Structure 1
Amino acid sequence: MKLAELLHKDVIKLDLSATSKEDAIKELIDLLDENGAIESKEGFEKDVYEREAQGMTGIGGGVAIPHGKSDAVRHTAIAIGRTKQPIGWETLDGKPVQAIILFAVRKEDEGNLHLKLLAKVAGALARDEVCAALLESNSKDDIIQAFDEQEGES
């Protein structure tokens, strides 16, 4: 599955009002719910926090990639949000985050789809231009294009 199939403007919010990790996750879950990707916000949120309890999802550089494999997911989706101010998060570099990429994956999706998607996103974020688009661009299209172009080159 290509990232471009999952990245859509209607599940990207560049002005999250969240001031905490919990608020950011809730706002992104709301986006996924509004776009029909999940059938139970509470069920999906529970599964995201179960995963959060297993280890940090803040990868550093101002970015976190929380995710949940859940029966509450209708179809695999990715929501992207950016907070107005950096927020506290458990991260590899010990610094707060401002960009959050939330994966929603069905429990019974084939193989390790969530791991494949995480690897694709992590690979994209290794590129300066993708990080710059994610953290600085005011255009949802630019963010989608940065991920799409990187994936096309890999």
Structure 2
Amino acid sequence: MILSDVINKNAIQVNMRAQNKEQAISMLAALLQKDGAVKDSERFIQDVYQREREGKTGIGGYIAIPHGKSEFVAHTCIAIGLLDQPINWESLDGNPVKVVILFAVNKKDKNDYSVKMMSQVARMLGKEEVCAQLLSAKSAEELISIFN
């Protein structure tokens, strides 16, 4: 799987002005709906919050990876938001979040596909240099190139 193929290039926002977790998820879901990747952003967001209740998606290092498996996702993809200011988020290291990587997973996709996608991103985020590049990115193109 090539990650840059599942990143929705129309759902990347740099300098995103979200004030909190809810706004960040909502803004990215709206971009996915506008592009047709999500059929109903509000219902998709409900599925994301269902997953949020199961455990922290702030993985540390100022990065969060919220995700939802939903019948309201037209096709599995990733949206990325680079916030202009860090926001509070329940995270493993207690730090706020500056990068939000939202996984929108079609409920019909086989579990192994979404698990492979998420584990590939997790492996990348386990590298300090990748996280540093994400945090300092200045454009959507730069964010995409990090995942190539």
Pick which of 62-71 and 127-136 moved more.
127-136
One-letter amino acid of the structure 2 residue matched with residue 20 of structure 1: N
2:19 counterpart residue number: 19
Distance in 2 between residues matched to 1:103 and 1:28, nearest whole Å:
10
How far is 1:2 from its partner? 1.9
Deviation at 1:133, TM superposition (A): 2.1
Alpha-carbon offset, residue 15 of structure 1: 1.4
Task: Give the TM-score normalised by the residue count of structure 1.
Answer: 0.91
How many residue pairs get aligned? The number is 148
**Partner Cα separation in structure 2 for residue 10 and residue 68 of structure 1:** 19
Give the Cα–Cα distance (whole angstroms) in 1 for the partners of residues 8 and 76 of structure 2: 12
Classify the secondary structure of the residue corresponding to 2:55: coil
Amino acid in the other structure paired with 1:35: D
Aligned 8 A contact 2:8 2:77 in 1: no
Q: Secondary structure at the match of 1:49?
A: helix
1:117 aligns with 2:113: no
Opposite residue 87 of structure 2, the aligned amino acid is I
List alignment gaps of at least 5 residues for structure 2.
Answer: none
Percent of aligned pairs with the same amino acid: 48
Q: Distance in 2 between matches of 1:68 and 1:111?
A: 12
* Contact in 2 for aligned 1:59/1:93 (Cα 8 Å): yes
Aligned counterpart, 2:2: 2
Contact 1:58 1:91 in 2 (8 A): yes
Residue of structure 2 equivalent to 1:61: 61
CA apart distance, 1:129? 2.8
Relative to the length of structure 2, the TM-score reads 0.95
- Residue identity opposite 1:142 in structure 2: E
Aligned pairs (5 A) from 1:41-80:
41-80=41-80
